[in-house]
């Protein structure tokens, strides 16, 4: 696993040992960033269910201003911090050791507004809808922001979730990338 583009291009990232994480493949990561390229520069991103930090680090490498990394696994948090330090993005990064719901609430209390929310929860665990509902309830996404969800093809997502509308969806093997926005 590596950083694909930007100022940290080609840098190899670590992964936690074991089977608890499923890092996004380079092919899927490239597809995600091709779809959302106009949103990246100077954005504030939230990498929920962060695992290795690969997605948030890719966003920083491509010009995002700030990234929040969230995971509830101690080993993942350790690897995320190592990867952030290695790519020299410590000053632009905040790592939260908690579950996604708690992180969203904490970010709301801090009056943080996010431009891009990346979600790559464990597949088929029914975490997507409750998380997006929490994002809406806490109002942490900017009006022109987007939510990028990486999920299993068996985990079909509705066209609308609250005020968010599905604006794009692409299949890559057994993985779907679904993007939501308030805009149609």
* pLDDT of res. 109: 80
More confident residue, 25 or 177: 177
| 18 compared with 140, residue with greater pLDDT | 140
The pLDDT of 92-118, averaged and rounded, is: 92
Mean pLDDT of 73-79: 95
Over residues 95-121, mean pLDDT: 92
Would you put residue 173 in left (φ > 0), alpha (ψ -120 to 50) or beta? left
Distance of CA 125 to the CA centre of its chain: 17
CA distance 161 to 175: 20
Q: How far, in Å, CA of 26 to CA of 54, rounded?
A: 10
In the prediction, which pLDDT does 20 show? 60
Length of the chain: 184
Q: What CA–CA distances, in Å, run from 74 to 84, 122, 147, 174? A: 15, 16, 25, 28
Distances (CA, A) of 166 to 48, 138, 139, 173: 19, 20, 18, 20
Q: Which domains does the chain have, with CATH numbers?
A: 26-181 (3.40.50.150)
* Mean pLDDT score, 117-122: 95
pLDDT tens per residue, range 124-164: 899 999 999 999 999 999 999 999 999 999 998 999 999 99
């Amino acid at each position: 696993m590596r950083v694909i583009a930007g100022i940290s291009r080609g840098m190899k990232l670590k992964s936690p040992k074991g089977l608890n994480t499923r890092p996004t493949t380079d092919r899927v990561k490239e597809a995600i960033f091709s779809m959302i390229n106009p949103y990246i520069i100077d954005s504030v991103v939230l990498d929920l269910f962060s695992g290795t930090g690969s997605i948030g680090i890719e966003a920083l490498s491509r010009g995002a201003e700030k990234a929040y990394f969230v995971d509830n696994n101690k080993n993942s948090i350790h690897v995320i911090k190592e990867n952030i330090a290695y790519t020299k993005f410590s000053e632009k990064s905040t790592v939260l050791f908690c579950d996604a719901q708690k992180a969203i609430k904490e970010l709301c209390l801090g009056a943080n507004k996010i431009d891009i929310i990346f979600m790559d929860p464990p597949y088929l665990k029914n975490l997507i809808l409750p998380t997006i509902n929490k994002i809406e309830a806490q109002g942490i996404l900017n009006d022109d922001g987007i939510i990028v969800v990486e999920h299993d093809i068996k985990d079909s997502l509705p066209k609308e979730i609250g005020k968010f509308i599905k604006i794009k969806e692409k299949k890559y093997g057994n993985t779907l990338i679904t993007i939501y926005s308030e805009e149609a």
